[in-house]
Structure 1
C-alpha cells in the first residue's frame, strides 16, 4: 500500500548579515546557502601567525550567528576561515605591491632630481674638505628650494601592476604632481590685427593730406599718434613684465642648478687634491686643466645618470688621472737620463729652428699658448675698462671735493682720506683671472663690486658741547632810587657741529685673495707678475734700456713761461734709482707698479703741490691737464722746466709714459723719467718726435 501523499515542506529564504539563508519551517531547520564570505572581526591581532586560521574559525562561529529564530539551530560553513585567509592574504599582497610601486616611483623621481652629494664618513671627518662639503650642501638646499618654487601640476598617470595573488595584471590610474613645463610666452598676433593696422594707416594718411590746411587738426592728429605710440609701448612693457614674472622661477631653478654643479665639481676637485698631493704641487695651469677635465667628466655623467652616479664616475676618473700622473712621475724618475737627452735634443732643435722665421713664429706661438700669461681681452677693451674705473675714481674725488657744498652748516669739517688710485695691471689681472676675456659691458658689474670693496667713504656727524665767554649786565635800584649796573662774565655752553669725512682705500692685490678661489688667485699673481705681457698698455713706462744721458755742453734756451729749476734739480738727483720703490710706495701701492707717473707725482708733491697727482698716464694724467686748460700738443714751443711730457710709443692715441721736462736747446727736449728701463734716467728727443703726445703745462706763479 502506497504511502499517503505528504504536502511539500514550507521553505523560505531570508537575507541576513551572513548572507542568504534557506529556512525549512516544516522541519524547523536552516541552512546558509550564500557563497558570500562571512564578516569577521579584524580588531584582534593574532599573537602567532600559525594560529590565525583556528582563531578566525572560532571568531566566525562566535560572531556570525543565524537570525534569532525560535527553535532553529544554525549550520556553520566549515570553509569560511580558509576563504577569509585567502582574501586577507590577497588584499595584503595587493597593498604591499601598491606601496612598493609608489615607493619605487618616488625614489626614481628623487634620485633623478636630487642634486645632493652623499659623503662618506671619511670625507665628513676630513677638515680640509669641510668647507667644500658645506658649500655643496648649501647649494643643494638652494636648488631644492628653487625647484620647490617652480609651479606644479597634477598629471593623470596610468601604471601597470601585477597581482601575485590572482596572477593577473591590473591597470591603475592615479595623479602625480610634476613641474609645469616652461610656458611658451611667444606673442601671438591677432589675425585681425593686420587689417586693423592697415585701416589705421589708411586713416592717418587721409588725415595727413588735409592737416596742413588746419593747425588744429594737425595738433590733434599728432597728439593722437603720440597717445597710440605710448599705449603700444605700455602694452609691450606690461607684456614683457608678465613674461619675466612667469619665467622667474624657472630662471632661478636653472641658476641654482648651475651653482650646485659648480659646488659639487669644486668638492670633487678638492677631494682629488687631498687624495693626490702630487697634483696640488703642480703648476697653476696644470691644475686648471685638471679641474676642467673633472668638470667635463662630471657634466657628462650628470647627463646620463643621477648625481650619485655622476659623483662616483667623477671620483673614478679623478683617481685614474691621479694614478696616470703618478705612473708618469715614476717613469720619469726611472728614465731621467733618457728624458734629459730628449730635452737636450729638443732645445737643440729649437735653437736651429730659431734662425728660420716661420719656425720661430711657430714655436713662439706655441710657447705663448702654453705659458698663457697674457691678457686674453682685446687691448681696446682693456683700456676702456680701465678708463671706466678711473672715471668712477674721479667721481669719488668730486664727491669729496663737494662735501662742504652738499653738507652745509657745520662748524668744522675733518678729513681723514686715503689716496685715490689703483694699479691698472692689478685691475686687469683680477678681471682676467675671474672673467677670462671681457668687455666694458660684461665687466661693469664686477667693476662696481671691486670698487665698493676697494673704497669706503663714510660721513658722520659729531656734536661737541663747548663754552664761550659772554659779558652780561644786571641793572638794579637801591632804596634811595638810584640805578646801578653790575657787569660780569659767564661761560655759556653751546653745540659745536663737526662733520667727519673718512675714506679708506684697500689695494686690489689685498682684495683678490678674499674673492678669487685658489686657481684664479694663482692666475692673478701670474698676470700681475708679467703685466699680462703688455707692460706699456696703461702707461707702463719706457722699455729703453740704454744708459742715462750726459747734459754736459747742452745750452738751454729759456722761454717766456717761468719754470721751476728747484724741482728739476730734485728730479735729476733721483737718477740711478732702480725699481721705483720710494715713489710707488709714497703713492700708496703695496707692490711694484708701472711707476713713471708715480715718480712725476712724487716730484710735484716734494715741491709742495697736492696736485696733479696721478698713477696712470692716459686715464688720469692727461685728463687732469686738459680739464684745467694746461695742455700743449706736440710742437708746443714755450715749454718750461718742470712741465710734464707724455709719450705715445705705439701711436694709438693713448699716453704710455710720462716724464719731467728739464729744458730744450732749440732742437731737442731733455727730460728726467722714472721707469725708463725700470730706472730713473735723463733722456732727450727731437722736438718733432712722433711719439711725443703732448705737454702738461705747470703754473709756477
Structure 2
C-alpha cells in the first residue's frame, strides 16, 4: 500500500528567472520541473473520494462559534496488497486444499465426482486469477504515483544540491564534504516533505540546506579536533582493529572488499527490518505461485484449442538476490509498502509468458447418403485445427541488476551478495537461497610462474578471489561475470581487447588441443546455461586447474564430470 501521497500538496520548488537562466542550473531545474509534472499527473490519476470536514469559525464581534460541514476531495487509500490478502485467506485456503485432497483420493472410483471436482477446481482457479488481476489493476495508479514521487525527490534533491554548491562552494571542497552536504540536503528535504513544507522557493530551500550543511561541517570539524587531541588513544584503537581484521581474514576468506564499493559490517548488512524483507520475499513467492497455478491449469483457463505444446523454464528465484536487488535499487532501507511497485517490475522482467496459436488446415473423411438411390459417398473435408504453443521464459533474477541499476547500485548489490547482507540465517532452509562458502584456493606450481606473462595474469586474477558472480559485471567496483573477469585480467596483463563476451574471447584465440594446453591459455565451455555458442570461460593454470568467475571467483578442477561434460576447447591469446 502506498501511503502519504495525499499529504503532499505541492512538492514543487519555485525557481527565479535568474536561476533558470543560469547555465550551471538550467538542466537540473528542467529535470526537476519535468519530474514534478509527472508526479502531479500520477497523483491526479489516484481514485478520489469525498471526505466530510468540520470547520469551526468564531465571529470576532460577538464571539459566537459556528461549525460548518464541507466536503473535501482526498485520495482513496490503496486496496490491500496481495500479501495481505493471502494472509487473511490462508486458513480458508488450507481447508479448501484438504477438501480437494480428500475428494482426489476417491474421485477415480466415480466419473461423475471426478468431472464435478475438475469443474470446481477450474472455477476456483479462474476466480483466484480474476481476483489477483483485479487487485493488481487497482494498485496500478498508486504504484505509478510512488515511482513518480521517488523520481521527483531525486531530481529535486539534485537541483538543491547544485544550487547550494553554487552558493556555498567552500562547503564542497572535497569528496567527503560533498557527500556530507548531499546527505544533509536529503535529510532536510525529507523533513520538509513530512511536514508538507516542500513547496517554496529554491533560494529558501537552498539556504536551509546550506545551514544544515554548515552545521554538518562544523560537527565534522569538532569531531576531527577531538580525534586529534586524543590521537594516541585512537591510534591504539585503530591498530587493535587492524590486528583483529588480519586475524579474522586469516580464519575466513569470505570477506570481499570491492573497489568503489561499501566496506565494513554496517555497509554490507541489510538495513531493512526482518518483517519487511520476509514480507517482500513472501509477496514475490506468491506471484510465482499464481504463475505456477496458471501454468498447471492452462488448458482449462485458456480453453478452445485442439492441442497444447509447452516450453517452460523453471519458476524460482534466489531470495538473497531479491533482497539485495531491493536494497541496492532503493539505496538503503525500505519498507514492504515502498517496494510493491518494484516487486511487480522485477517479476514482469524476470518472467515472460507467451502464447502462440498456429492454425493448420486438416482433413477428415465425411460420408453422405444419396436420399434417392441410397448410395453412400465419402469425401475429404478441410477444417481448422488449432495448436497452442505456450512458452515461459525465466530471465533469472540475478541477471537484472546490470539492466536496471547504475554502476554504484550494482556495486552495492555485489557487496550485499558477497556477505548475504550478514544475514545467512534469514532464509535458512530455502532450497533456492545462496549460501556463503569459502572459495577454493590453490598453489600454482612455481615452475609455471617462470613465464612472466602468465605470472602477471595470475597476480591480477588472484586479487579478486572471493568476489561474487554478478551478471554483466566487468570491473572490481561491480564485481564480475565469467567473461568480464577474464577480459579485465587480460586487459591488465598486457593485452587490450576491450570488454568481450565468452564467445568473443573464444573468437580472438587460436584453438589449442588439451595435450598442448599450457598455463595462461583460456578454457571455454558450452551449454552451462541456455545460450548459443560458448557460455563460460576461465583461465587455465595447469595440472587440470583453472581460475574462473563461478560464484564466487575461485579455483576449480576441470576434471569433474560437470566441466568435462561442458568442455569445448582451449584457446591461446594472440
Q: TM-score category by the smaller chain?
A: 0.3 to 0.5
TM-score by length of 2: 0.45
Q: In terms of Rg, which structure is larger? A: 1
TM-score by length of 1: 0.38
Q: Which has the higher contact order (CA 8 A, sep 6+)?
A: 2
